[in-house]
Amino acid sequence: MHPDVHLSLDRIRAAELRESAHRWRLARVPRSTWTGAASRRIGWALIETGLRLVHHSASRKSAVAEISGDLI
């Protein structure tokens, strides 16, 4: 394929993608602020739970190491 044809097709496809994105932005329903706040609260709760699990796991490993005399 000739390079000029390739560039032409690329420009046409880019314009189609931009138009499609523009139509999508106009058609979508905006998210409410409550949804964003709720997802942030859920996200932080999951992070806190994960940190507690990691901390609990680390303390159990150190207790096992003290009992067995090994250093992990």
**In this predicted model, what pLDDT tens digit does every residue of 7-48 receive, in sequence order?**
999 999 999 999 999 999 888 877 665 667 788 899 999 999
- Please indicate, yes or no, whether residues 37 and 72 belong to a single structural domain of this protein: yes
Does 69 lie in the same domain as 56? Answer: yes
Segments forming the whole domain that contains residue 51: 33-72
- The rounded distance, in Å, linking the Cα atoms of 70 and 51 is 25
Residues 39, 68 within the same domain:
yes
Query: Count of domains in the chain?
Result: 2
Judgement on whether residues 52 and 17 belong to the same structural domain of the protein: no
pLDDT-based confidence at residue 60 (cuts at 50, 70, 90): confident
Examine the domain organization and report whether 46 and 72 are in the same domain.
Answer: yes
| SS3 label, residue 49 | helix
**Same domain, yes or no: 66 and 41:** yes
pTM score above 0.85? no
Q: What is the rounded distance in angstroms from the CA atom of residue 43 to the CA atom of residue 3?
A: 48
Give the C-alpha separation, 63 to 68, whole Å: 9
